[in-house]
Amino acid sequence: MAIQANHSHTIEWVLAQLEHIAQFGQDKSGVTRLAFSKADHQARQYIIELMQDIGLVVHVDAIGNIIGRYEPEGIQAHVPAVVTGSHLDTVPAGGKYDGVLGVICGLAAVKRLKERSDIKHPLEVVVFSAEESSRFNFATMGSKAMAGLANISSWKRIVDQEGISFASELATLGLQIEHIGSAARANNSIKGFVELHIEQGRILEQGRVNIGIVDKVSSPTRLKITVTGMAGHSGGAPIEERQDALVSAAMIVLAVRNIAADYDYQGSVATVTILKTFPGAINVIPGQVEMWVDIRGTEHGSIIEILQEIKDAISTIADDNDTPVAIEVLASEKPMILDYTINKTIEDVCQKLKLTSLRLDSRSGHDAMNMAHIAPAGLIFIPCKEGVSHNGSEYVASEAIAAGLAVLTETIYQLAK
Amino acid sequence: MAIQANHSHTIEWVLAQLEHIAQFGQDKSGVTRLAFSKADHQARQYIIELMQDIGLVVHVDAIGNIIGRYEPEGIQAHVPAVVTGSHLDTVPAGGKYDGVLGVICGLAAVKRLKERSDIKHPLEVVVFSAEESSRFNFATMGSKAMAGLANISSWKRIVDQEGISFASELATLGLQIEHIGSAARANNSIKGFVELHIEQGRILEQGRVNIGIVDKVSSPTRLKITVTGMAGHSGGAPIEERQDALVSAAMIVLAVRNIAADYDYQGSVATVTILKTFPGAINVIPGQVEMWVDIRGTEHGSIIEILQEIKDAISTIADDNDTPVAIEVLASEKPMILDYTINKTIEDVCQKLKLTSLRLDSRSGHDAMNMAHIAPAGLIFIPCKEGVSHNGSEYVASEAIAAGLAVLTETIYQLAK
């Protein structure tokens, strides 16, 4: 097992890189490195230089995906590549591992595999742009574009909470939104895609399992709900005469929570993640509330049912309180099944490396689910402490990282040899 | 009744001024003229010029209150003044009448009374600074300062939602927060204070009464509530394992609403007016919620009871959901009883002018409640359409304005002759 030689040295390198990248956007509450923010630009620039140091040829595609490529000597350029990667952007006050782990371990794996003489395919590490939906309300944009799934006419309308457009942020990278289509990769250009990511749940930790092998990835369904009441003086109007948009919104929050609890056993959840009151003054009854709902599940049927139940509950609340409610479906994607053969390869690698593994579904979306549209794709999970993620206290033990790196490296090797 | 001569001409002037001032900060949703904003500065400058046109001597005090003064010939400067006035600042997307009405009608009254030879007291029209709490979360700041009720050490810490300090906004007027104390007026400098304001409720309209005479003014009790949960991936954590701060916050919104409904018959209300979710990303379970509660009532006892019930409800919700809740009391003022003699004068004036009147309590706070600390103070209400206020659709019929103006003018005359 050549893979594990000089292993501790590589792990030290990975841990040091994770700490270094965490500095871009870190404050006391966590790492805030929203897509295309200043911190994200800094991290991206750092990775480009790191890729060059490792000896990769770096290319930035039409949506800003960073592709670091190694071509073994004597291998022709048209030979399909074995690709790994993940993302550098984070949620607000997020953790040090979500996304970054897959990028750094991908680089560590390629760094190692470059030393081997029996690699017969180009190797690529990709940093996918805008994986998190925190800034633009759209998720996994970079991998969607690479898989030819970009919806350019809709993406042209995207603005963040400050009103800054996605198109103008792309432009700061010298990229034009009209050209995003050219980020799409041909089906036969990739032999296989493997992503390493933290689980963001507690299944592996609770089962004391080293490695999760993802069968199915949930894709989010996202709603924007607007409740319209009647603004008024918060000292003036008697309670019974009011149309308080926040009272209706509170009922919707609890309805969503109760519906989600009913479907939890099917692996589906729904969450009201953002709520804003308007006009937002201490002495005015809320006249309008905007709220965003994130629905996840790996069973498409249960998502449809949750959506219908939420709509029914909202309709009743709107009528009872005389506060009309508008529902806009921002995203509605089907769960994605990952590749059987790659999963089998990962499973065999775990066995070979004497690591325990189990098959599971992912309730969070990942770039691998888009890459699965154009290549056989696999997703490797390692446990994170107490399942906590999207939080500054996200933590992954170095033993878990070592296991994940070993499995990723050997899986890429099996695909590329 | 000399007062009503040339009456229709004066009403036209008042209506034209109200429309003119509404332009400062108007957009399609209403008038947004937050305290010390650009629109507020424009309106203030306009009023200063209007006062000068009318022949008033204008003085801006240490908190930016604008005082337009008329001294009848031969009257000594130390003779106590009869003072009227209200405010120019608005809530976000507010109306054209709240506050402005009392300023413009005050000017129209003084304009008229200047023509009379039997005025024996100086007359003053005051524009009070920062009456609305929308920007700085503190209400009636200008009249508090004039009444010697400013809390300078606390006001030094005030910042708006953009982080701009109250002190720095004062500085743009060339005023220093340390000197606010000098805005306080001596007890014997004011013979009486009368304010004209819209009711912001439906009692007058429903009773088809021309004039409301306010016995008691409610003062707000304000809470800031912070719910702390645990941020996490909105696809990751099962519902039962979550500490979703927004779910607890929604329960608190409904608890406040239900408690308020119980006390409504006592004339007290409580409203959650602002709610903010953190980190505020579509894919993160809310880890923290901040919410602001406005409690109003003219019975101090019922406010205390509401406060206790809200605290009890919050305590239960915090424990049940494992989401600690912190409560900060931002303001807690006692209701203020207005002057018996001035109210009797207003009542007699109404009778004389053949206008119907009734005594009522005000659930909204007004500058008159602070002025009552240093002078006999009265507050005259006129009906507004459907009681709607703090809303762009706020509307007052010109007949109601004419009645209010007539009562204000004659009341000032009775006090000043």
DSSP B253-270: HHHHHHHHHHHGGGT-EE
3-state secondary structure of B184: coil
Instruction: Search chain B and give the residue with CA nearest A285.
Output: B273
What per-residue confidence (pLDDT) applies to A3? 44
Tell me if A319 sits within 8 A of A276, measured CB to CB: no
Write out the H or E segment, with its range, that includes residue B408.
Answer: helix B398-416
Phi, psi of B90 (to 5 degrees): -130, 170
Q: How close does chain A come to B279, measured CA to CA in Å?
A: 6
A368, A193 Cβ separation under 8 angstroms:
yes
Query: pLDDT of B103-120, one tens digit each?
Result: 999 999 999 999 999 999
Return d(Cα B107, Cα B51) in angstroms, integer. 7
Q: What is the pLDDT of residues A346-366, one digit of tens each?
A: 999 999 999 999 999 998 899
- DSSP result, A92-108: TTB-SSTTHHHHHHHHH
A119 touches A72 (CB < 8 A): yes
Is pLDDT at B80 greater than 90 in this prediction?
yes
The CATH number of domain A221-332, selected from 2.130.10.10, 3.90.1150.10, 3.30.70.360, 3.30.70.20: 3.30.70.360
Task: Give the separation between CA A363 and CA A263, rounded to whole angstroms.
Answer: 13
Q: For residue B217, report the phi and psi dihedrals to the nearest 5 degrees.
A: -110, 125
B307-317 pLDDT per residue, tens: 999 999 999 99
The pair of structure tokens assigned to A325 is: 């409610």
Give the distance from residue B113's alpha carbon to the nearest chain A alpha carbon, in angstroms. 33
Cα(A195)–Cα(B192) distance, integer angstroms: 78
Q: Which chain A residues touch B222 with a CB distance below 8 Å?
A: 282
Q: How many CB pairs under 8 A join A and B?
A: 249
- The string of DSSP codes covering B93-158 is TB-SSTTHHHHHHHHHHHHHHTT-S---S-EEEEEES--SSTTTS--SHHHHHHTT---HHHHTT-
Q: State the amino acid at position A158 in one-letter form.
A: I
User: What CA–CA distance (Å, rounded) separates A24 from A47?
Assistant: 12
Instruction: Give the gap in angstroms from C-alpha B223 to the nearest C-alpha of chain A.
Output: 10
Among B220, B236, B274, the residue with its CB nearest the CB of A389 is B236
Identify the residue whose tokens are 């606010």: B180
* Residues B283, A257: C-beta atoms closer than 8 Å: no
Instruction: Kindly state the average pLDDT of the residues B226-248.
Output: 92
Q: Is the pLDDT of residue B387 over 50?
A: yes
Mean pLDDT of A304-317: 95
Count the neighbouring beta carbons within 10 Å of the beta carbon of residue A288. 21
Position B220 scores a pLDDT of 86
Q: Is the Cα torsion angle A237, A242, A243, A244 positive or negative in sign?
A: positive
Q: Give the burial class of B305: count Cβ atoms within 10 A of its Cβ; 0-12 exposed, 13-18 middle, 19 or more buried.
A: middle
Distances from the Cα of B315 to the Cα of A13, A123, A257, B312, B407, angstroms: 48, 57, 21, 5, 49
How high is the pLDDT of residue A265?
80
**pLDDT at site A7:** 62
Q: Are B230 and A391 spatial neighbours (Cβ–Cβ below 8 Å)?
A: yes
The helices-and-strands tally (H runs, E runs) of chain B is: 12, 17
Domain at A2-218+335-416, CATH class: alpha beta
Which chain B residues are Cβ-neighbours of A257 within 8 angstroms?
A: 239, 244, 247, 250
Contact yes or no for A223/A292 (Cβ under 8 A): yes
How many CA atoms are closer than 13 Å to the CA of A264, on its beta-carbon side?
Answer: 16
Rounded to whole angstroms, the Cα distance separating A43 from A154 reads 28
Percent of chain B with pLDDT over 90: 85
Any known ligand binding at A98? yes
In whole numbers, what is the pLDDT of chain B averaged over residues?
Answer: 94
| pLDDT of B338 higher than 90 | yes
User: At residue B363, does pLDDT exceed 90?
Assistant: no
The residue that leads in pLDDT, A6 or B77, is B77
pLDDT given for residue B5 in this prediction: 43
Mean pLDDT (chain A) is 94
Q: For B216-237, what is the mean pLDDT?
A: 91
Q: Do A222 and B92 touch (CB under 8 A)?
A: no
The residue ranges of every structural domain in chain B are 2-218+335-416, 221-332
Percent helix / strand / coil, chain A, rounded to 5: 40, 25, 35
Task: Tell me whether residues A283 and B134 touch, CB distance under 8 A.
Answer: yes
Matching residue, tokens 């991998």: A143
Distance from CA of B350 to the nearest CA of A (A): 24
Binary contact (B285, A390; C-beta < 8 A): yes
For residue A279, whether the previous peptide bond is cis, meaning omega lies within 30 degrees of 0, is yes
Please name the amino acid found at residue B212.
Answer: G
Q: In sequence order, which ranges of A264-339 are alpha helices (DSSP H)?
A: 300-321
Sign of CA dihedral A168, A170, A173, A179: negative
Q: Is the pLDDT of residue A5 over 70?
A: no
pLDDT of residue B2: 38
Is residue A188 helix, strand or coil? Answer: helix
Q: How far apart are CA B52 and CA B45, in angstroms?
A: 11
pLDDT, position B1 = 38
Q: Which of A233, A266, A333, A360 to mutate to test the interface with B (most CBs of B within 10 A)?
A: A233
Least confident of A88-97, B17-26, B222-231, B236-245: B236-245
Q: CB distance B133–A283 less than 8 Å?
A: yes
Share of chain B above pLDDT 70, in %: 98
| pLDDT, mean of residues A191-197 | 98
Q: What is the pLDDT of residue B7?
A: 62
Residue B8's pLDDT is what? 67
Q: What is the mean pLDDT of residues A306-316?
A: 96
Helix or strand run (H / E) with residue B10: helix B7-22
Q: Is B355 exposed, middle or buried (0-12, 13-18, 19+ CB in 10 A)?
A: middle
Within 10 angstroms of residue B203's Cβ, the number of other Cβ atoms is 15
- By CB atoms closer than 10 A (0-12, 13-18, 19+), residue B340 is exposed
Q: In the structure, what pLDDT confidence band is assigned to residue A84 with cuts at 50, 70 and 90? A: very high
Please tell me the distance from the alpha carbon of residue B170 to that of residue B148, in angstroms, as a whole number.
Answer: 18
Residues of B in contact with A265 (CB under 8 A): none
ipTM surpasses cut 0.85:
no
Q: How many whole angstroms separate alpha carbon A13 and alpha carbon A34? A: 25
pLDDT, position A8: 67
What pLDDT, in 10s, does the model give residues A242-281?
999 999 999 999 999 999 999 888 888 999 999 999 999 9
Structure tokens at A394: 């996200």
Chain A contacts of B282, Cβ < 8 Å? Answer: 133-134, 137, 222, 273-274, 292, 294
Residue B329 host element (H or E): strand B325-332
Cβ within 8 Å, pair B292-A282: yes
Determine the residue type at B164.
I
Q: Annotated binding site for Zn(2+): which residue ranges of B?
A: 87, 98, 132, 197, 390
CB B244 within 8 A of CB B229: yes
- Give, in degrees to the nearest 5, the angle at Cα A356 between A354 and A357: 130
Band of pLDDT at residue B266, cut at 50, 70 and 90: confident
